[in-house]
Structure 1
Amino acid sequence: MLKRCSGCGVVLQDANETKPGYVKDLNHDLCLDCFNLKHYSKVNSVTIHTGDMPQIKEEALIVYVLSVNHLNLRLKYRLDRHFPNSPVILVINHIDTLEPSVNLNRMIERIRQEANKLQMKFVDVVPVSALQDKYVDVLMASIEHHQKQRNVYLVGFQNSGKSLLFKRIASHLNIETTVLSGKKPGLTLADFEIPFNQNKLVDTPGIYLPGSIASFLPYDSYKDLIIETRVKPKIYQLNEQQSLFFGGIFAVSYLDGGFKGIACYASPAMQIHRTKYDPTYEKFNQLQTTMKHTIIGVNFIKQTYRLQPNLAYELAISDVAMIHIKGKATIEVYLPETMRVTLEEALY
């Protein structure tokens, strides 16, 4: 019988140190990656585990966990098509990273309105902070109310905080669980389950998001860029034809729209440099060698966005930065060709 790692669920093997699930001794319960993460907060493997939307064939209650860092992807998947017979609770995690002035009720109402236009219905929308154990009890009450003797599945993108939320719920139920959580995307590689209200609650592997920062930098280089605590936005008053360099990772240029304030949400570890716009980005390429966080050896491209007047936008770059700007404006992003970038109407 195959033995699985008690931390991530991968099948353990002692044949190849470079492949997932490696252990020196098959009597061990944790693979080498999980052992180093648990005891030394280190991640040796650079493997990115890809995973699609989980296949749940039974009628179940789906708890869709969405990080504040992924709000731009809130309607990426038609959940009603993936789970046509299953009700869905939307969980907005990491609310502890938001400013206290953010109106959560208004945000939730906006999301409901957007979903209704697509004929997607959430039976509930619950904001939580798994890290601070905030409103987890409210979510559990909602799950119990909507469960109706069904199994419950936690579904979400990688780095949505899904496994930490699973651990918090287990703690509320006085149940021990061995699943590990951390900043490395795709840490959970198999289903983990605990009893819940005469049925079961299942933590599923995270859905892979192409273009994440982990695709470009090793864990030790990007871990301090992932937003996990509240960050105060840096406000830049920009004239036309000015650029902001975010480390040696990407640049955002403000081309036209008059004098305008732009709010940047990023980790304090992110170096942001303001300079005059140069369409060749020669200065950016030169500064890359001096920046703490830098991406080299890949092809960079330019993408242009034209923002409409009277709308507030959020430009999200990979997992590391969100830029809020109110149109009318033209902006240009200079970034690695396969890095994820999205532009949507801002929710806050």
Structure 2
Amino acid sequence: MTPSSSAVFRCSGCGIPLQTEHKDRPGYVPSSAKEREPAVCQRCFRIKNYNEASSVTVDQDEFLKLLGGIASTNSLVVHIVDLFDFEGSMISSLQRFVGHNEVLLVVNKIDLLPRVTNFNRLRNWVQKQAKENGLRVVDVVLCSAKRGTGFDRVVEAVGRLRGDRDVYVVGATNVGKSTLINRLISDYSDLHQELTVSRYPGTTLDAVHIPLDDGKHIVDTPGIVYESRLTEIIPREDLGAVLPDKPLKPLTYQLDEKQTLFFGALVRFDFVEGEHQSFTVYASSGIPIHRTKLERADELYENHKGVMLAPPNAEGLATLPAWTRHRLRIARGAKQDVFVSGLGWIKANSESGALIDVFAPRGIKVMLRDSMI
């Protein structure tokens, strides 16, 4: 059960090597259950007994090894992304791994958008962004795992598109993948039968094959960890402040050039150059925003980081990479968002153009995109 064991114990369900030390890692089994026959990891146990798929994660290299085998299959690939962190949760390299298999794009967390959102326009925006990221999709479905909104459409689309094929479900962490798989299991699988799952050929990954009534499988892949997302690197105790759990309340700031917005001590937004204009912030209400003059920004940060400028606190701040500056130029006439993965986005409301500097922890994805709303 431990790395020093002479024998390698494997889960009879998914084939992963079993271990008793790390609950959040693949292959975990409680010490009290390690002698049972057959031995199964906690994840397979919960799928079998509770119809519950858990979130097991792997790093990007391991995940890409798993994706490498999909092209040789005849499958439907369901890619789940987080609308709040769209570019941060999209697997931009997915197309080159799936071969000729079709991709259904499921966009979760639409419940976070303001109620006045035009969802037909949003769907068109998603299709355009996916195409620009090199992803060809056969269909797009908008849904909310939390509210249950749109899940009937997801199930219908999977049933319509998969035919007699297996279904691979892929996505980053915290995008709602497990919720979707649980729903698909309940709709397409007889849970009273013995659950037989197998390790994905040629890998040591915790990919679980969940049998369907027609003999095919839903293949639950681990969640990929992208450290380019703010939510992957901040202290766990700050996730509640950064991840919104109710509809966003846009905040609009009228700014002159040489003004700065601090998002706690996580991100700094400098309006460096441009005409007086407004910017609308779409971020969690748990992150306090402080406005100051650009000339005072450095001093304010040094004197108040981790205290007034929080989250994170001083201890948490010490665990984050140093800030990197991203210089972004919004062209005159363009309707664009300044997107910071894991934080949200800032919409430039004027079409007069602007020069923006964004400071974020090194490695975090910061970019301009066409306005979502």
Structure 2 equivalent of residue 239 of structure 1: 256
Deviations 1:155-206 (A, max 9, x none): 12222211122123334457669xxxxxxxxxxx722343446122222112
Shift of 1:101: 1.8
Distance change >3 Å, CA 71–CA 346, structure 1 → 2: farther
Shift of 1:148: 1.8
Contact in 2 for aligned 1:236/1:262 (Cα 8 Å)? yes
Aligned-partner Cα distance in 2 for 1:75–1:92: 10
Deviations 1:47-70 (A, max 9, x none): 984133423231210111111023
Give, as a single letter, the amino acid of the residue that structure 2 aligns with 1:137: D
Aligned-partner Cα distance in 2 for 1:148–1:17: 36
Pairwise CA RMSD: 3.4
Structure 2 equivalent of residue 40 of structure 1: none
Q: Is 1:192 aligned to 2:214, yes or no?
A: no
Contact in 2 for aligned 1:227/1:320 (Cα 8 Å)? no
Q: Is 1:296 aligned to 2:318, yes or no?
A: yes
Q: 2:366 aligns with which of 337, 341, 346?
A: 341
Bigger mean CA offset, 258-267 vs 64-73 = 64-73
Aligned-partner Cα distance in 1 for 2:263–2:222: 31
Q: Is 1:223 aligned to 2:237, yes or no?
A: no
Bigger mean CA offset, 102-111 vs 139-148 = 102-111
Structure 1 equivalent of residue 346 of structure 2: 323
Aligned-partner Cα distance in 2 for 1:129–1:17: 28
Aligned-partner Cα distance in 2 for 1:264–1:301: 21
Give, as a single letter, the amino acid of the residue that structure 1 aligns with 2:19: Q
Aligned-partner Cα distance in 2 for 1:127–1:135: 6
Distance change >3 Å, CA 307–CA 262, structure 1 → 2: same
Structure 1 equivalent of residue 167 of structure 2: 152
Q: 1:97 aligns with which of 84, 96, 112?
A: 112
Aligned-partner Cα distance in 2 for 1:269–1:238: 22
Give, as a single letter, the amino acid of the residue that structure 2 aligns with 1:142: A
Distance change >3 Å, CA 170–CA 48, structure 1 → 2: closer
Structure with a larger share of its residues in helix:
2
Give, as a single letter, the amino acid of the residue that structure 2 aligns with 1:209: Y
Other structure's SS at 1:166 match: helix
For structure 2, the 5+ residue unaligned runs are 1-7, 35-39, 47-55, 193-204
Q: 1:12 aligns with which of 6, 9, 18?
A: 18
The aligned runs of 1:171-320 (5 Å cut-off) are 171-173=186-188, 190-196=206-212, 198=214, 199-278=216-295, 281-290=298-307, 291-294=309-312, 295-296=317-318, 298-320=321-343
Aligned-partner Cα distance in 1 for 2:340–2:73: 36
Aligned-partner Cα distance in 2 for 1:121–1:253: 35
Distance change >3 Å, CA 244–CA 15, structure 1 → 2: closer
Distance change >3 Å, CA 12–CA 71, structure 1 → 2: same
Structure 1 equivalent of residue 33 of structure 2: 27
Bigger mean CA offset, 260-269 vs 296-305 = 296-305
Structure 2 equivalent of residue 38 of structure 1: none
Distance change >3 Å, CA 174–CA 292, structure 1 → 2: farther
Other structure's SS at 1:108 match: helix
Contact in 2 for aligned 1:14/1:26 (Cα 8 Å)? no
Structure 2 equivalent of residue 62 of structure 1: 77
Q: TM-score, normalised by structure 1?
A: 0.80
Query: Percent same amino acid among aligned pairs?
Result: 26
Give, as a single letter, the amino acid of the residue that structure 1 aligns with 2:207: D
For structure 1, the 5+ residue unaligned runs are 36-46, 178-188
Bigger mean CA offset, 56-65 vs 206-215 = 206-215
Other structure's SS at 2:31 match: coil
Shift of 1:210: 2.2
Q: Is 1:163 aligned to 2:178, yes or no?
A: yes
Give, as a single letter, the amino acid of the residue that structure 2 aligns with 1:68: L
**Residue correspondences, number:** 324
